Structure 1
Amino acid sequence: MAKPAGIALCSIPARLRRTATINQIRAVLLEQSTTARRSVAALRNSLPAILESGNDELPTRKLFIALQQDWIWLVERIKMTTSGIKTASETGPSCKRLIAIPGIGSLISTAMVAAVGKSEAYDRRRNFAAQLGRVPSQHCTGG
């Protein structure tokens, strides 16, 4: 079950790069005295109008277009990765059992199965639940 772990780990850097790309787009717009509303959806909706405005005074127009293309690519990659995680969590029996726990979704279930493997690694169910954060953590001396 190493495949879901790889999928889960690939998603986190892509999401961070998406945020960085969005911030770069906002910075380029601000340098040109153009503002966009704060939400991601508002920025996405305003980009075509900004590009079609015919404002050729944007010296960084090529950079702006490249950032927009990066953003589109990252969004598609995140969708594909999320779909892979969801498929892996729906097909694995261990993941299905974990998803039945309130508060555990596709990402957490695949990460736990990848990190822990089979639940036989724990001698008590409570220890596994503590690992998930569902019960107070246990502090024992190990003896």
Structure 2
Amino acid sequence: MNGSKQVVGVDIAKRVFQLHWIDAETGEIMSVQLKREKFLEHFANRARCLIGMEACGGAQHWARKLLELGHEVKLLPAKMVRPFVGRNKSDAADARAIWTAVQQPAVKAVAVKSEAQQAVLALHRMRSQLVKFRTAQINGLRGLLAEYGAVMPQGRAGITKGIVTALAKLVDRLPAVLLDTLREQWARVGQIDSQVAEIERRLRAWHKQDKASRRIAEIPGVGLLTATAAVASMGDPKSFKSGREFAAWLGLVPKHTGTGGRIRMLGISKRGDTYLRTLLIHGARSVIANSKQPTEWVTNLTQRRPANVAVVALANKMARTIWALLAHEREFQKGYVSQPV
């Protein structure tokens, strides 16, 4: 039991929620189903307790509502709950597994985000989805044209430059219905470009109003997308004990395996937010490739380590710097050297 505080495991769903806890007075194991409409009413009439939930769809909303009622809420990654489920999966087994997992000290909870932070992340998700659609449209066009001998150069610039000429050469060979459809698909790529640009404009407007986002955008390699995604994904920076813990949460630290005292280091763990980790790695790669005056640390790193190892190491350092600036509310200083307390 978590001190004298009641611990409740909650498996949320669309309509029916499953609760699991142990009665502190009788020791009775309680397994209760609640309709969605009765969920908040149940906790409004309970003493303050620790509530564990999986970080799945809708969890952020319910976490905010439960926090407003005065309860403590922890959102757990599904991967950390799964080992406690056991053999047979059911709503009751899931709620029991969440109840067990939320009391484990080694399980790192997911930050509860505000509605504004979730709104920014929603913009990022929609932008990412549009970029995927655009890539699929371009690849589809490239493949269809290749069937008729019109091979486009690689990259977006290549197809942009060559598609008009390619379609013009095929006018006498292909039916008009196909040519019109190909032109419509290419026009759809332009429409997606406009939608992506509009989302980026809205992110830029939010970025200009948010002090934390502007602060970390001063870090080399951290641009509009990385800054806004980092502030929104992190939630409360003080929920992490250190920059190292934040970098580990993003999967930017080595995975390891071993037994009998022999430890073997592997590649990065790739745990946590894939989107933000990708942005940081791309930003680090840009700094190493394009910086006209790299710092001494970066120069020594690239001389001693392979290119990809250096990129991930710099991304790790960027993540630590982001945490330090946000947690301590400091401005970025080039060449700053931290001192032990």
Match of 1:3 in 2: 119
- Aligned equivalent of 2:138: 22
Given the superposition, is the C-alpha separation of residues 39 and 135 from structure 1 closer, same or farther in structure 2, using an over 3 Å criterion?
closer
1:64 equivalent in alignment to 2:182: yes
Q: Is the 8 A contact 2:219 2:318 kept in 1?
A: no
Q: Secondary structure at the match of 2:317?
A: coil
Matched, 1:39 2:151: no
Partner of 2:8: none
Q: Does the residue aligned with 2:174 lie in a helix, a strand or coil?
A: coil
Say if 2:171 and 2:179, in contact at 8 Å, map to a contact too: no
Check whether the contact 2:243–2:319 (CA below 8 A) recurs between aligned residues.
no
Match of 2:218 in 1: 100
Q: What displacement does 1:24 show?
A: 0.8
> Alignment partner of 1:134: what SS?
helix
- Percent identity over paired residues: 21
Instruction: State the Cα RMSD in Å.
Output: 2.6
Tell me by how many angstroms 1:14 deviates. Answer: 1.0
| Aligned with 1:82 (options 200, 218, 223) | 200
- 1:67 CA displacement: 1.3
Q: 1:131 to 1:100 in 2, by over 3 A?
A: farther
Structure 1 partner of 2:78: none
Matched residues, number: 137
Residue 72 of structure 1 and its aligned partner are, at CA, apart by 0.9
Q: C-alpha separation between the residues in 2 aligned to 1:12 and 1:4?
A: 12
Moved more, 9-18 or 82-91: 82-91
**1:134 is matched with which residue: 317, 322, 331?**
317
Change (3 A) 1:122 1:45: same
- CA distance in 2 between counterparts of 1:70 and 1:136 reads 37
Q: Distance in 1 between matches of 2:122 and 2:144?
A: 34
Distance 2:233 2:210 in 1: 14
Higher helix share: 1
- Unaligned segments of structure 1, at least 5 residues: 138-143
Q: Which has the higher contact order (CA 8 A, sep 6+)?
A: 1
Deviation (angstroms), 1:54: 6.5
**2:232 aligns to what?**
114
| Counterpart-to-counterpart distance in 1, 2:170 and 2:139 | 23
Give the number of the structure whose alpha-carbon radius of gyration is greater.
Answer: 2
Q: Distance in 2 between matches of 1:131 and 1:98?
A: 18
1:77-135 residue CA offsets vs partner (Å, 9 max, x unmatched): 11112222222222211111221223222112211221222323234455446556327
Instruction: Single out whichever of 56-65 and 28-37 deviates more from structure 2.
Output: 56-65
Specify whether residues 80 and 98 from structure 1 end up closer, same or farther in structure 2 by C-alpha distance, changes over 3 A only.
Answer: same
- SS for the counterpart of 1:97 is helix
Structure 2: how far apart are the matches of 1:50 and 1:3? 42
| Residue equivalent to 1:140 | none
Q: Distance in 2 between matches of 1:129 and 1:101?
A: 16
TM-score computed with the length of structure 2 as normaliser: 0.36
Contact 1:24 1:67 (8 Å CA) reproduced: no
More strand by share: 2
For residues 30 and 124 of structure 1, do their structure 2 counterparts lie closer, same or farther at Cα, with a shift above 3 Å needed?
Answer: closer
The answer to which of 52-61 and 123-132 deviates more is 123-132
